[in-house]
Amino acid sequence: MESALDQIKLLASTANETTKRGLLITLRQIADSLEDSNDTIHRFGYLHLQTAAVKVGFDLQLFRLLCSAQGPLSLEEMAQSTKAELLFISAVKEVDSTHYAANTITKNLCEPVSEAGISHCFETVGPQFQTIPAFFKASGYKNPNDEVRTVFQEAWKTADHAFAWFGTHPENLRYFNDYMALRREPQVSWLGVYPVPAEAKGSTPERALYVNIGGGIGHQCAQFKDRYPDIPGRVILQDLAHSIEKALQTPGVENLVHNFFDPQPIKGAKFYFIRGVLHNHPDHKVRQLLENTKAAMGPDSVLLIDEMVLPESGVNSYAAAMDLTMMAAFASMERTEAQWRKILKDVGLELKMTYNYNPPDEFINGATHMALAHNVMIRSLNAIYLQAPHIQPGEQPAFLRFAEVWHKSVEHHHKTEEDIFFPIIEEMSGQKGIMEVNAQQHNAFQSGLEAFIAYLRQCLAREAQFDGKYLVRILDGFAQVMCERLADEITTFVDFRNRGEKLKGYHARLVAEAQKVQQLGLLDDVMFMMANHDVDFEDGIHDFPPVPAVIAWGQRNVVWWAHYDWWAFAPCDRSGKMRPLDLPSE
């Protein structure tokens, strides 16, 4: 028994997020299967008490106190800080009979999204849950279809729609707005998958670029503006007056009071964006909203709907809970893809594309950043290889400089890995030699790199006559091995996630340490990356290299011209678009 539990604990400590989800579901199923009737009574019967106790903890700021403490706290210290007599502590781990310390649940409850979400559920949704049995008993267990005759109205003794009711209950509205803003953070966003720059090409300053319909207090507009500050066009937030009154004052964002069941006043926008709105309304109201939006759309307008899509079977507990909550509060539902397609077809719209997005963890982010850097090396290597045999005498100096910067980029990349990245990974993982294989792989093509740069320098010093075919033969000696090793390295970085907490935060540390020592030349190193990164790769979702927008503009519009003859051999033009290489026809 102990051995089995130890194995489960080990798995939990090293598992990635997907494995953890599966393990959590399995363990809960096992726990449920072990219950007798008394266990089941206590589990369901006291759920309200657990939530109430957590809410008291928020009010006392108890969880923040425990999370910020340097060690276990005594009951006396906790009572003194909270000014309360603690009769129950449901989410702290007892160290001994008189001291308490934060555990994983406590730390979860310290996060702003937890306080906002649980407070919203307790204060606003909880009374509805209490009313559900009586409401459906009285209605003969019929599915509600009138958005102002739902469990919500019965629970709160109001004739108002839920969103109108929020206007006179500011505390409930605050919890709701905070939870909606925090529950999907900026990195968990449609902006990570949808090709905004490509779709918005040709946008003008006077045209509405992005209209966020029912956008609350404007977090989505702020994220859009932050992500794409240089795309011209108006960014507009629309919502009811009580939300617009509290809206963020984001530079470049227009805050407009608008009821989306009225005609859409902004005509011909490029993007109309609706996030987490349609699931709050029954089908007939969704059709009304969509009709209003459709009537305002221009020939190239795009309607972006950011909503949950239920699977046809195997709905998880969270999605099922949301579906029932929407039914109780709004006579609405979460919808399957078939249901979304039907409701769009009903108003003459067609679903063109669906995008799934999930939070990319730091291991995926790290591997992605590494892959983009490797792509630059390989893309430019191909350009050198293909053009070398066809270089004319007058082009040789510039071509040699382009090839020299390629070598400098590769050497700099590998030196940074060996001197900074690999040692940090060894230290954080506690496993000496974990990156030894990768370091040895570098050695596999080092002699070829040395021969390559030696020949370039001889040609630049006019100690040897340039021969493009000879340069290709040097590349043939190591290029394939090098590309294979670069690909292997990406798999290594993805596999870091299997080491669990030990490597948590590794990518941020690598970047910080590299920035302390990197001496990248703006005239060659940074410009080289920009000249060899395809901005349309994967529909243009990657901001690479990761430099501020003002520096990127300066590189393309000013720095480029310092060595424009070098970049004539790059596979991308000044804007970062792939272009055909200047090769003789067959």
Q: What is the pLDDT of residues 63-97, one digit of tens each?
A: 898 888 878 888 788 888 888 765 554 345 555 56
| Nearest Cα to Cα of residue 528 among 550, 509, 512, 547 | 547
Phi and psi torsions of 35, nearest 5°: -70, 145
pLDDT at residue 90 in the model: 38
Q: Are residues 531 and 408 in the same domain?
A: yes
Would you call 390 a catalytic residue per the annotation?
A: no
Structural domain of 273 = 194-311+329-346
Residue from 279, 374, 390, 412 carrying the catalytic annotation: 279
Residue 554 has a pLDDT of 83
153 and 43 part of one domain: no
Alpha-carbon span 297 to 266, nearest angstrom: 9
Whose structure tokens read 């657990």?
50
CB neighbours of residue 336 within 10 Å: 15
562 belongs to a structural domain: yes
Domain presence at residue 99? yes
> Which pLDDT does position 134 carry in this prediction?
95
The pLDDT value recorded for residue 43 is 86
Task: Assess if residue 586 is contained within a domain.
Answer: no
End-of-domain residue from the set 110, 141, 165: 110
Asked whether residue 393 is domain-assigned, the answer is: yes
Listed as ranges, residues in the chain with pLDDT below 50 are 89-91
Does one domain contain both 277 and 412?
A: no
Q: Is this model's pTM higher than 0.75 or not?
A: no
φ and ψ of 310, to 5 deg: -75, 140
Same domain, 341 and 458: no
Q: How far is CA 498 from the centre of its chain?
A: 20
The whole-number pLDDT of residue 346 equals 96
Q: Residues 124, 95: one domain?
A: no
Supply the DSSP symbol for 299. Answer: T
In-domain check, residue 577: no
Q: Are residues 84 and 124 in the same domain?
A: no
Our count of domains for the chain comes to: 5
Say if residue 145 is in the same domain as residue 70: no
Helix, strand or coil for residue 523?
Answer: helix
Domain identity same for 90 and 123:
no
Please identify, among 76, 110, 144, the residue that sits at the C-terminal boundary of a domain. Answer: 110
Q: Clarify whether residues 413 and 540 are in a common domain.
A: yes
Assigned domain for 523 exists: yes
67 and 1 together in one domain:
no
**Residue 279: other Cβ atoms inside 10 A:** 17
Average pLDDT over the chain, rounded to an integer? 85
Same domain for 475 and 423, yes or no, is yes
Q: Are residues 405 and 540 in the same domain?
A: yes
- The CATH code of the domain that includes 273 is 3.40.50.150
pLDDT tens for 221-248 read 999 999 999 999 999 999 999 899 989 9
Q: Which of 209, 231, 235, 234 is nearest to 221 (CA)?
A: 235
Answer whether residue 498 is part of any domain: yes
Considering the domain boundaries, does residue 317 fall inside one? Answer: no
Q: Which helix (H) or strand (E) holds 212?
A: strand 208-213
pLDDT of residue 363: 73
d(CA 303, CA 353): 11
